[in-house]
Amino acid sequence: MDAIEMIKDRRSVRKFKKEKVDRETMREIIELSRWAPSWANYQIARYTLVDDKATLGQLANDGVKGFVYNMKTLQNATGVAVLSFVKGKSGRLDQAKLDLMKEELSDANATIWEAFDAGIACQTFCLAAHAKGVGTCIFGVINETSIAQAVHLPEEETVAALIAYGYEDGPHAKPTPRKEIDEIMRFI
Ligand SMILES: Cc1cc2nc3c(=O)[nH]c(=O)nc-3n(C[C@H](O)[C@H](O)[C@H](O)COP(=O)(O)O)c2cc1C
């Protein structure tokens, strides 16, 4: 699959076959995901992969604020990635980097860069999965605290998103509308 096809053909997938994605395939997807760029190359994104029914059920019940749409997608999925990030790193230079760069390069809005890194990691994961024939759906309507408890997330991490995954069932999801190029782009 070439890059253009990979970008244009990825869809949010909400209907999955019963067949599980094997763990080796998920390792290959994470191997690709780790090539995502990140602030100062800190690589703060972490992926907790859940593929057992009991935890999937628990996340469907407690992890999506009772949002029925997401509950249904999760009940139907054979796996979900809890995308998290290590707190307190991106946007802040550590001593080794401060020795090389000026302190002003540390960013006062550091937390923005944590979310930024997580977003890039998220899209890289979804594109890598798509290239491997695995469908994904990002969830932003989530209960971070319940999810962290359910998957025993390390203290130093925060949940950024859930990404349901599995093999798509039925015809490929239809493209959703996009704004026209001239609405989102300007030359100066
Ligand atoms: C940050 C973020 C949060 C999202 N949250 C949800 C969600 O909670 N539930 C859901 O079904 N889709 C969710 N989506 C998927 C969007 O609805 C979807 O990406 C958008 O409609 C475009 O469709 P496409 O992904 O098929 O191109 C989310 C997407 C993003 C990027």
pLDDT tens string 105-161:
666 677 899 999 999 999 999 999 999 999 999 999 999 999 999 999 999 999 999
Asked if 71 and 60 touch (Cβ cutoff 8 Å), the reply is yes
Half-sphere exposure of 137 (CA within 13 A, CB side): 24
Strand order in the sheet with 79-86: 45-50, 79-86, 157-166, 135-139
- Residue 119 Cα: closest atom of ligand 1: 1
User: Could you tell me how far CA 14 lies from the centroid of its own chain?
Assistant: 15
Pick from 33, 76, 45, 53: nearest CA to 167:
76
Domain ranges of the chain: 14-169
Give the pLDDT of residue 107: 64
pTM (two decimals): 0.94
What's the half-sphere exposure (Cβ side, CA atoms, 13 Å) at 98? 9
* 14-169 classified as CATH 3.40.109.10: yes
Ligand 1 center to 72 CA (angstroms): 15
- Looking at ligand 1, which residue's alpha carbon is closest to its atom 15? 138
